[in-house]
Amino acid sequence: MTTSWRDGRRYLWPSAIVVPILPFLSYGIVSQTGVQGWWWLTPLLVFVVIPLVDMIGGDDVGNPPEDAAGGLQADRYYRWLTFLYLPLQFGGLVLGSWQWVDGGLGWAGKLGVLVSVGTVNGIAINAAHELGHKRESLERWLSKIALAPTAYGHFYVEHNRGHHTRVATPEDPASSRLGEGFWRFWPRTVWGSLVSAWRLESSRLALRRRSRWTWRNDVLNAWAMTLVLFVGLALWFGPGVLPFLAAQAVLGFSFLEVVNYLEHYGLKRSHNGTRYERVDEQHSWNSNRLVTNMFLYQLQRHSDHHANPVRRYQILRTYDTSPQLPAGYATMIVVALFPPLWRRIMDPKVIAHYGGDLDRANLHEPARASLEARGELVLE
């Protein structure tokens, strides 16, 4: 028995709500100093400081003991840390809308507000991801609400019923392929996920002999939340806020898609001629970097998430047999934006993972010839 076990990271988990607080901190500093550059505090922390700290913060390879898992799962402290993200997220969106329209900012300040709010709402999709997998109806609705600022409510359907079924296969729009750069992956996954979500929800309703044009359609009611939110903000701040809302939404869901890109890059489940093998710890890239795990509700323990989707973030486990990224998600997100650098780092890892057999990898076919000829990809 290990009933005396305590979560040594218990008071580190609030790190996950630091990011949505940052726009308010920026506003306060700019108001006091007049220096609009402080609106870049959020992207500076997320894309520079966290990756640097992650490199020296070390790994956390411990798993909670099985007989402590039940208590951790039931502890509402962890649940409230996901709930708290939402009011901060929406408060930041209102603040950003106000500053965009009436803040008297120059273009550098406006761009800082835009990137800050887009980053907060992009990371909010991770909170929505955590909430959307749970059985409680409140958490599922909160998931769709968290997706509203990025106009990505269809993620709720596609991720749970599409991606988790087709992960690490060529049929999955959210699983990137060996040799496929992020900027090539982006349009494929954005459009493919939207189409897949609509088909999945239409099929679900058809089985129940209901029209797809109903408020019960989880794609439509999620999109309706975005429409109500954007119209409400436009009525409040004027139509001049609409370009801001559209741009921050694109930035936000692009943040999600770059995470999708790195989570399953080049990995593929084998097919026996009838069906794909069951998802296991070999089909996701993982990382045990402590700092990013605290900021992202332990998303980096991605293999266990796919094996146990309803398992709450605080009890996700790490596996010695899972493929490991060379750095945490915070660092690899930045690397993924530069395809030549990403391929130089990651392609050899995928090839080694499959013992040099490209047919076992989820391959971007145009890259095959160069891989076979030279053992590496031609950089686009």
Using CB atoms within 10 Å of the CB of residue 239, give its burial: 0 to 12 exposed, 13 to 18 middle, 19+ buried: exposed
Is 379 a domain residue? Answer: no
Is 163 a domain residue? Answer: yes
Is 270 in contact with 360 (CB distance < 8 Å)? yes
Q: What count of other Cβ atoms lies within 10 Å of the Cβ of residue 87?
A: 11
330 Cβ neighbours under 8 A, 6+ residues apart = 46, 47, 50, 51, 54, 289, 291, 292, 295
Whether 377 has a pLDDT exceeding 60, the answer reads no
* Residue where the block lists tokens 């959307």: 132
Whether 29 has a pLDDT exceeding 90, the answer reads yes
Question: Would you place residue 9 in the very low, low, confident or very high pLDDT band (cuts 50, 70, 90)?
Answer: confident
pLDDT tens sequence across 314-362: 999 999 889 999 999 999 999 999 999 999 999 999 999 999 899 999 9
pLDDT tens sequence across 67-98: 888 899 899 999 999 999 999 999 999 999 99
SS3 271: strand
Whether 378 has a pLDDT exceeding 80, the answer reads no
Nearest to 190 by CA among 283, 253, 246, 232: 253
Is 7 a domain residue? Answer: no
Count of alpha carbons within 13 Å of 92, Cβ hemisphere only?
33
- Return the pLDDT at 265: 97
What distance lies between CA 13 and its chain's CA centroid? 17
Q: Which domain holds residue 328?
A: 13-374
- DSSP E strands: which ranges in 188-240? none
Give the count of domains, the chain: 1
- Return the pLDDT at 275: 92
DSSP string computed for 52-85? HHHHHH-B------HHHHHHHHH-HHHHHHHHTH
Is 325 a domain residue? Answer: yes
Is 6 a domain residue? Answer: no
Is 223 a domain residue? Answer: yes
Question: Would you place residue 62 in the very low, low, confident or very high pLDDT band (cuts 50, 70, 90)?
Answer: confident
